[in-house]
Amino acid sequence: MADEDSESVRTAESQELAALHLPQLEALVQETSHALSILKVETEMFEKYYNKMEPKDLVSHLLPDIHGSSLDLGQTRTRRKSKSRAAADRFIGLTVEQKNDLAQRELDETKEEIQQTKGDSERIIQNYQAVMEEADIRWADIKKATCNFNKDIIQTISKKKGSVIASEKVLRYLEEKNHYRDAMKEKLRLKNDSLKVQKKKLQLQLKQKEEMGEALHEVDFQQLKIENAQFLEKIDERNRDLLQLKLTAGNTLQILNSYKRKLQNATAASARLMKDISQRKEALEKMERETILVEEERAKAESVNKQLRQQLSDYRVPPVLKYVNQKMAICDLENNIKIWERKVEIAEMSLQSYRRAWNKVKVASKQLQLCLPLQGGQ
């Protein structure tokens, strides 16, 4: 009977499909494929949920729904036994509440995974940043040590090759570096010990809180989630405000730099103008001094000019006879000058002859003085 009923249902469905037109069949195929994709997504979600849950939780969670669905199936069997199996095979599934619960749990788990991945990524980034900062600090220390070594040791060794002082300086430098490293190692060890003690205290406090029953319940956890969301919104708002303030500070800094450049240009221009003004003042003072000197010279020249004009106005031309007499006196004086110049030349010539004769006498007297001691010795 069941096989006959199923065959009759299939024939009825085939007849209904045959009666449909091509656009209706295409729409029906699209609806069926869409429903099939939704069922695939729901099936995958249910499989994930089923694999994560324990068997006891799964039975306790689905038992009321299965019981209700069995009652519904019993009622449908009493009504129509011929179509019960096909209807049960076709329509038994999850309710809307169960699907919503599964979707909500999957969404929560996805959010938790995202948060966990985000936290892990942030920790990894922080670790890498710490490693990079440590590498930068180490590189800076190495560069500083290299510069100090080149400055203190290499230059000394290059100046004093083969000397004992250079080798002693190298050994002293290495000993100082070793002492410095030992002190740093001891300092880091003490810091590590203090951090370990602090970690133990915090772990002990956490354990005591858990033993005293201060663990968070589900309601507290939800409340904390709500507060965390509120705080995150406030943090985002503060971050936006901070970004806006940073942009404002950047613009202000750019404006300040532009005004600083303008101030520097104005200061340089003012310095140039002050220098030019001082040079102009010096030139003006020099011109004033020269003007005073020129005025004085002009006054002197005017006085001399007045005197010359006065002399010119007072000058009277002498008579002709007086001029002739003065001219004759000048000619006599010139002749006397020539006569005396000739006498002077004659006197100089005689003086030179007298000097030559005197030199000869002196030479002869010296020779005579040299010969007289030689004769006395003989």
Per-residue pLDDT at 165: 63
Q: Which residues contact 20 (CB under 8 A, 6 or more apart)?
A: 28
Residue written as token pair 């880091």: 188
End-to-end CA distance of the chain: 193
User: What pLDDT is stored for residue 14 in this prediction?
Assistant: 67
Which long-range contacts (C-beta less than 8 Å, at least 24 apart) are formed by 173-181?
Answer: 173/149, 177/145
Instruction: For residues 49 and 105, give the distance between their C-alpha atoms in angstroms, rounded to a whole number.
Output: 8
- The pTM (predicted TM-score) of the whole model is 0.33
The set of residues, in sequence order, having a beta carbon less than 8 Å from that of 87 and lying 6+ positions away, is 76
CA 3, CA 224: separation in Å to the nearest integer?
Answer: 59
**For residue 213, what is the DSSP state?**
T
Q: Where are the alpha helices (DSSP H) in the chain?
A: 2-19, 22-52, 55-79, 84-91, 96-149, 155-159, 164-211, 218-314, 320-377
What is the per-residue pLDDT for 21?
72
Q: What is the DSSP letter of 319?
A: P
Say what the pLDDT of residue 74 is: 41
Q: pLDDT tens-digit profile of 165-183?
A: 666 777 777 788 788 888 8
- Specify the pLDDT at position 109: 82
Q: Can you read off the two tokens belonging to residue 67?
A: 């019981």
125-157 tens-digit pLDDT: 988 888 898 888 888 888 887 887 777 777 766
**46, 94 Cβ separation under 8 angstroms:** yes
The token duo for 139 is 């590189």
Q: Which phi-psi region, left, alpha or beta, contains residue 93 (left: φ > 0; alpha: ψ -120 to 50)? A: beta
pLDDT at 77: 40
Hey, what amino acid is at 353? Answer: S
User: What is the pLDDT, as a whole number, of residue 339?
Assistant: 92
User: Contact at 8 Å (CB) between 127 and 112?
Assistant: no
Sites in the chain below the pLDDT cut of 50? 1-2, 56-91
